[in-house]
Amino acid sequence: MLCLKLAESLGVKIKSPWVVWFKASCFPALASLMLTPFIIYKICPPETKHTIDAPILAKTKLEQMGPVKPNEWIMMGTMLVTVTLWISGGSLSISTVAVAMMGLSILLILGVLSWDDCLSEKTAWDILAWFALLLGMATQLTVLGVVPLLSKSVASFLKSLSVGISRDY
């Protein structure tokens, strides 16, 4: 997005940049998805290639687990609603943070998770703290004018290079 803004400021107009990106990435992505498993299979072939007992073992494990429990249904429903709201949240003007908090609240209120479960996730709290710190620093750098100053400097430097850019996009 930064490159698109920079190109736009230089007069380069790219119609539907996401469509252009999607078209350009389809072939390499599909080729990678198709070839990677084959290459890995050839480089590191598996030791066990036939598992005759796998279906029987899976059926036994599923029988031991029993039917889907109410908490599992609640978790599936909550995840479905949360992911749906994340995907369509932009068109509904719903913040992704609000959606995440709603999902967590549902799981806490209905007893699927306990507060102790949330507190025991030390890594998640650590990531949240660092993310908040970095986001706050980025916001302050923007408010204080450092980011606009740097972006103007980089833009003027790139303009001074007089790179021949085709404007026929």
Render pLDDT for 90-101 as a digit per residue (tens, 0 to 9): 677 788 888 889
Q: What is the pLDDT of residue 169?
A: 46
Q: What is the pLDDT of residue 161?
A: 79
Helices (H), the chain: 2-9, 17-43, 54-65, 70-92, 96-109, 115-119, 122-143, 146-160
Q: What is the pLDDT of residue 165?
A: 53
Q: What is the pLDDT of residue 82?
A: 92
pTM: 0.50
Stretches in the chain below the pLDDT threshold 70 = 1, 90, 162-169
Q: What is the pLDDT of residue 90?
A: 65
* Three-state DSSP state, 148: helix
Q: What single letter denotes the amino acid at residue 125?
A: W
Q: What is the pLDDT of residue 50?
A: 84
* Three-state DSSP state, 50: coil
Q: What is the pLDDT of residue 167?
A: 52
> Tokens at residue 158, please?
């790139």
Q: What is the pLDDT of residue 44?
A: 93
Q: Phi-psi bin for 79: left (phi > 0), alpha (psi -120 to 50), beta?
A: alpha
Percentage of the chain exceeding pLDDT 90: 41
Q: How many CB atoms lie within 10 A of CB 107?
A: 20
Q: Are 13 and 169 in contact (CB under 8 A)?
A: yes
Which residues fall within 8 angstroms of residue 31, CB to CB, at 6 or more apart? none
Whole-number Cα distances in Å, 96 to 6, 71, 73, 88, 108: 27, 24, 23, 10, 18
CA nearest neighbour of 141 among 151, 127, 131, 153: 151
